[in-house]
Amino acid sequence: MFKGSFTALITPFTDNGVDEAAYQSFVEWQIAEGTDGLVPCGTTGESPTLSHEEHHRVVELCVDVAKSKKVPVIAGAGSNSTAEAISLAAHAKRAGADAVLVVTPYYNKPTQEGLYQHYKAIHDAVDIPIVIYNIPGRCVIDMSVETMARLASLPNIVGVKDATNDLGRPIKTRALCGDAFSQLSGEDGTAVAFLAQGGHGCISVTSNIAPRLCAEMQDAWAAGNLARVAELRDKLAPLHDSMFCETNPAPVKYAASLLGWGNGKVRLPLTGISEASQQRVKAAMQACGLI
């Protein structure tokens, strides 16, 4: 089971492509800070604007660092084309990823049956654990708990990244999919509430810049230290908010640049954050003692 604090990794860029050396150094730092797992090539990693070659390379770079540390890698492999998702999942398998994160198909708006058949096709084509990424805010569609339960009966459908922000969902999912089905929050601001409702961890944006604090919060929950959980939850709350003051990952890449990780560059159609947003991010980081 996947559990704890996973980082939805940013992808640092140069003017000519992915900054490979910076990326691997960043992954090494994440592991040293106590992050439980790594997620390359998700939305925060700007997968929509990575070429297929870059996508493959970023997964390979991450796995190369993580494998020696025995830290799990859940590689982004989603697409609104089933054939493309199968291709990305097959590459992640060859690269040595532990699992793939597959987003619900965006723009196409498949029915619940279409969602089931999409994931089943990937499942049947590639022998690798699959984590469903359910994020209606970006993909328009919402996978029902009933459809998820159908998929959970397949041996390699092992969990969900739940970004519905519906805190009733984990209870229903646990009831239909079982406790062995990993439930990872996709919303930093409600990560603790998600745990309280039966979740197992979080795939976090904030942990790009505060990996130790995010990991400590998950560890405190696992240890039953609720006072420490509450302390860290409240400390991180303004930071979480600031990471979404503009479209992710622009704020977190700016924040990472303040820590010396990359130059903050995002690819069009995303742009760097405004001066007002920069000040908000700085203030939140200062309040957390990050800068």
- Which residue of the set 119, 133, 253, 254 is catalytic? 133
What amino acid is encoded at 217 in this protein?
Answer: M
Burial 40-63 (b: 16+ CB within 10 A, else e): bbbbbbbbeebeeebbbbbbbbbb
Helix (H) or strand (E) segment spanning residue 232: helix 226-242
Backbone phi, psi, residue 38, to 5°? -130, 140
- Which residue of the set 161, 253, 254, 265 is catalytic? 161
Is residue 199 within 8 A of residue 167, CB to CB? The reply is no
**Distance (Å, whole) CA 20 – CA 78:** 22
Pair of tokens at residue 219: 């560890």
Q: Is there a catalytic annotation at residue 116? A: no
Backbone phi, psi, residue 142, to 5°? -125, 120
**Distance (Å, whole) CA 242 – CA 184:** 21
Helical axes 226-242 vs 275-287, angle rounded to 10°: 160
* Cα within 13 Å of Cα(32), Cβ side: 8
Q: Is there a catalytic annotation at residue 70? A: no
Peptide bond into 249 cis (omega under 30): yes
* Cα within 13 Å of Cα(265), Cβ side: 14
Burial 72-98 (b: 16+ CB within 10 A, else e): bbbbbbbbbebeebbbbbbbbbebebb
β-strand partners of 283: none
Q: List the catalytic residues.
A: 133, 161
